[in-house]
Amino acid sequence: MSLDLIIDVNKVNIFQAENLVLSNVTFSITRGEFVYVIGKVGSGKTSIIKTLIAELPLQSGEAVIAGYDLGNLKKKHIPYLRRKLGIIFQDFQLLGDRNVYDNLSFVLRATGWKNRKEINDRIIEVLEKVDLNYKGYKMPHQLSGGEQQRVAIARALLNDPEIILADEPTGNLDPETSEEILQVLLDIRNNGRAIIMATHNYPLLKKFPARTLRCEKGKAKEVDHSAEIDFSSLMG
């Protein structure tokens, strides 16, 4: 695996329980690349992300992510892999009983940070990256959906991950807010992180084109952008 190659997936079959979801999945991603994963509901987009974070075990084929061989990954090493990954969900998954600052502090302490000043400095740094410098005292319910997703992105950045995996991060947001969130992700990409974004948001993909994997009929294939993507066939 070359120094710039951060994800290398080769002939992987992806299962949910006993069911084969995708077969012969092969793709590679380098540092600083932005890649969409598109397809209908149930086509395997989320299953790809779950495989990369070792939530679904690798049963066949080869996959290396952030230096970890998923085929030989011991259970005790999964938390170390996940520290190299920033994971963003559609439903934010913020802790509703504490403010933004304490949501972020909780994650840092859970991943081994102990020095109070270092924790404070890191929280300030990631909130600045998502333009929420002055919202640390707010409770999640006091924020708009877009602001909550920015907090979720800040949380994903806390441990300086090499890869961001975003599963429908704009799914609950209006079009204007979705564009703002995508712009935040593109800025993060420009700092050298690889980003995989599973999405249904085809207007966003048309406006901000990037390399695209399409899940369809049990396969994940790269889209040829010289041909027009038939977005209507991907709805549902």
Residue 19: how many other CB atoms lie within 10 Å: 8
> Is 118 inside a domain boundary?
yes
**89 lies in some domain:** yes
Total structural domains in the chain? 1
**DSSP letter, residue 55:** S
Amino acid at 10: N
Q: What percent of the chain has pLDDT over 90?
A: 81
Residue 229: count other Cβ atoms within 10 Å of its Cβ: 17
Average pLDDT over residues 131-143: 95
H or E element at residue 197: strand 194-198
9 within a domain of the structure (yes/no): no
What is the rounded CA–CA span in Å between residue 205 and residue 192?
Answer: 21
Kindly report the CATH number assigned to the domain that includes residue 98.
3.40.50.300
- Supply φ then ψ for residue 15, to 5 degrees: -115, 145
pLDDT at 150 over 60: yes
Domain holding 215, by residue range, is 33-53+79-234
Do residues 216 and 48 lie in contact, with contact meaning Cβ atoms separated by under 8 Å?
no
Cβ neighbourhood burial of 113 (10 Å; 0-12, 13-18, 19+): middle
Please tell me the predicted confidence (pLDDT) of residue 18. 87
Strand-by-strand arrangement of the 5-16 sheet: 19-30, 5-16, 60-65, 68-69
Q: What is the DSSP string of 98-115?
A: S-HHHHHHHHHHHTT---
The mean predicted confidence, pLDDT, of the chain is: 91
Q: Which amino acid is at 152?
A: A
Mind listing the pLDDT tens digit for each residue in 13-29? 999 888 999 999 999 99
- Quick check: helix, strand or coil at residue 221? strand
> What's the pTM?
0.90
DSSP-derived letter for residue 204 is: H
Is residue 12 in a domain? no
